Amino acid sequence: MRLYSLLFIGLLVGATTACAQKPADASSMKMDTTHARPAIAGKAASKSGAAHGLLAVSLPKATKDSLMKNIRAVFQRINSDSVLHAVSLDEDTLEEIIGGSPDNGGDVTGYFKNDTLCKIIMSFGPSYGLKEWEYYYDRGQVVFVYEKDQHFPVTKEGGLDHERLVVGFEGRFYFNKGRLIEKIIKRYDQFMAENIDDNYVRDLLDDTGAYTAALRQQVKKKK
């Protein structure tokens, strides 16, 4: 499993700033955001229930449609549940997991029903914009992940407009028993250059491990 650190954002932003000095065009917005993922402290085991060596699985259309329908029902049930209680990680815990602090802060909040984790929202603000993830759980396993990548647009003068954020990438990932059954990717510009392959999806699940453990620990402390 690869480990990602937001401490590398400074290097990435430096490259972006250099590009921003040129007239804005599509190529100037292209960036490899590989190192922009939240890091895991050590090699904490994922609590997502994902199978080791995760690979996408091909299913008959009727089977996949049925599973996706059930996943959407889980999504709607969780988001409409008014009794879920929120638990957020404090700044010190986040910095310990990440290995530093993102330039524009970060937030990780878990939503629980009693002791059961139903949803996690993760938001991190590197210098170039904002990265967000939503994880939805059913019976202890991740069944759906929504990822959104936003960035500050290039101005006509060649700088960055820090008053606005534009969506550069959206990803929707559907899982069944730790296997990817469908992904829906939307790229709005060339800002995010990562390949959405098996390694990317594997890390998408593994990267929640330390956060999930910390959230569950906080729930235990509150008892």
Instruction: Write out pLDDT tens, residues 127-153.
Output: 888 999 999 999 999 999 999 999 998
Q: How far apart are alpha carbons 10 and 3 in whole angstroms?
A: 17
State which residues of the chain have pLDDT below 50. 1-36, 38-52, 54
pLDDT at 118: 97
Instruction: Write out pLDDT tens, residues 53-89.
Output: 547 889 999 999 999 999 999 999 999 999 999 999 9
Cα-flanking dihedrals φ and ψ of residue 49, to 5°? 85, 10
pLDDT at 186: 94
pLDDT at 124: 92
**Strands (E) located in the chain:** 85-88, 106-113, 116-124, 129-138, 141-151, 166-176, 179-187
Query: Residue type for 98, please?
Result: I
Q: How far apart are alpha carbons 34 and 16 in whole angstroms?
A: 14
CA torsion sign, 146 to 47 to 205 to 169?
positive
CA torsion sign, 39 to 45 to 47 to 51?
positive
